[in-house]
A and B are shown apart, each in its own frame.
Chain A
Amino acid sequence: MRCALLLTFAATLGATAVHAATPSVEELQRQLEAQQRQLEAQQARLDALAAELDQETPSISAASSFGGYGELHYNALDSKDQIDFHRFVLYFARDFDAELRFFSEFELEHSLAGEGKKGEVELEQAYVEMDLDAATRLRAGLFLLPIGILNETHEPTTFYGVERNPVENGIIPSTWWEAGVALAGRFGSSGFAYDLALHSGLKLDGSFAIRSGRQKVSEAVADDLATTARLKYTGRPGLELAASATYQPDVTQGLVAGAGAGTLLSAHAAYASGPLTARALWAQWRLAGAAPAAAGKDRQDGYYAEGGWKLTPMLGAFVRYSVWDNGGLGATERAQTNLGINWWPHPNVVFKLDLQDQGKSVDDDGVNLGVGYRF
Chain B
Amino acid sequence: MGDNDYILEMREITKEFPGVKALSDVTLSVRRGEVHAICGENGAGKSTLMNVLSGVYPHGSYDGTIVLNGKDCDFRSIRDSEARGVVIIHQELALIPYLSIAENIFLGNERSAAGIIDWNLAMRDASELLARVGLTDSPQVKAMDIGVGKQQLVEIAKALSKKVDLLILDEPTAALNDEDSAHLLALIAQFRDNGITCIIISHKLNEISAIADRVTIIRDGATIETLDLHGDEPVTEDRIIRSMVGRSMDSRFPDHTPVIGAEVLRVENWTVHHPIDSERLVVQDANITVHAGEIVGLAGLMGAGRTELAMSVFGRSYGSRISGTVYKDGKPVSMRTVSEAIGHGVAYTTEDRKRYGLNLIQTIRENISASALGKVAHWGIVGTEAEIKVAEKYRGDFRIKSPTVEAVVGKLSGGNQQKVVLSKWVNSDPDVLILDEPTRGIDVGAKYEIYGIINALADLGKAVIVISSELPELIGLCDRTYAMSQGRITGEVARADATQETLMQYMTMGKGAAV
A binds B: no
List residues of A whose CB falls within 8 A of some B CB. none
List residues of B whose CB falls within 8 A of some A CB. none
